Amino acid sequence: MSATSNGPGTPAEEAGLKPFNVTLLVRRYDPESGREAYWEDFDVPMYPTDRILDALHKIKWDQDGTLTFRRSCAHGICGSDAMRINGKNRLACKTLVKDLDITKPITVEAIKGLPLEKDLIVDMEPFFAAYRQVQPFLVSGAAPEGGKERKQTIADRERFDDTTKCILCAACTTSCPVFWTDGQYFGPAAIVNAHRFIFDSRDENAQVRLDILNDTEGVWRCRTTFNCTDACPRGIQVTKAIAEVKAAIRTGKTS
């Protein structure tokens, strides 16, 4: 809501702050135009606490309605607005203007390693195909006597608690140099989601997943660059999880 409206303004407006222009350099691509991808700049009035997602909304709503990007919850839960901002994979809804260098244009482009569809949108199917391959669901036998829930100790839950945080944004996988150059590699996100069930004491399919990942395109393709850990918006220790899966393959132990 603008400061000239009859209702209350934004917190920044009510605090007496004035917007300033920020330049976004957005990598555009339209498959129907026959044109190669190109960079286009936009000047956007922003407050320090605005997010890059807010800037993209202002461009789409006020300057160029053809700008195309994904977003849903806008609160870092759905993971749909992962993109490269100043050369790093981030969620646009969690990246604040004040945390970026605005003395030069802020670059915004699609995440790498997946087929580009339009502007900031990529085809996520290869990513989800790898995710499905690792069987990311609980596999257990008959229900406990009496039909009660499968109980688990606090310590057992803590064993895989970190990898339950994944929101499938693909930020980790598309920050991986191996994934960029090898279209067959499962990628960090698939391994993280396998980890979540491999180390779940209630699951009975750990060895199947370990066999799947003990493949030429599985965990052994990881080069431990830590790009994936740095890119994760949920703070998951991705590289550590991959190392734990490697150890389980070597030793056959998941506990």
Q: How much is the average pLDDT of 173-179? A: 97
Digit-coded pLDDT (tens) for 42-76: 999 999 999 999 999 999 999 999 999 999 999 99
pLDDT at 9: 58
Structure tokens given for 38: 């190109």
Angle subtended by helix axes 238-251 and 188-198, to nearest 10 = 60
Digit-coded pLDDT (tens) for 123-158: 999 999 999 999 999 999 877 777 778 889 999 999
How buried is residue 214: exposed, middle or buried, by Cβ count under 10 Å (0-12/13-18/19+)? middle
Q: What are the start and end residues of each CATH 1.10.1060.10 domain in the chain?
A: 125-251
Identity of the amino acid at 148: K
Strands 116-118 and 121-122: antiparallel
CA–CA separation, 82 and 64 (whole Å) = 21
Report the CATH superfamily, name and number, of domain 125-251: Alpha-helical ferredoxin (1.10.1060.10)
How buried is residue 3: exposed, middle or buried, by Cβ count under 10 Å (0-12/13-18/19+)? middle
Q: For the whole model, what pTM was predicted?
A: 0.90
Q: Which residue has the tokens 């222009």?
A: 21
CA–CA separation, 244 and 150 (whole Å) = 24
| Strand partners for 27 | 39
Structure tokens given for 204: 């009975």
Q: Which residue has the tokens 């100043």?
A: 86
Identity of the amino acid at 165: K
Digit-coded pLDDT (tens) for 75-99: 999 999 999 999 999 999 999 999 9
Half-sphere exposure of residue 254, counting CA atoms within 13 Å on the CB side?
Answer: 21
The closest of 213, 231, 197, 202 to 90, measured between CA atoms, is: 231
CATH topology of domain 11-122: Ubiquitin-like (UB roll) (3.10.20)
Q: What are the start and end residues of each CATH 3.10.20.30 domain in the chain?
A: 11-122
pLDDT confidence of 13, banded at 50, 70, 90?
low
CA torsion through residues 182, 188, 193, 196, sign: positive
pLDDT at 253: 77
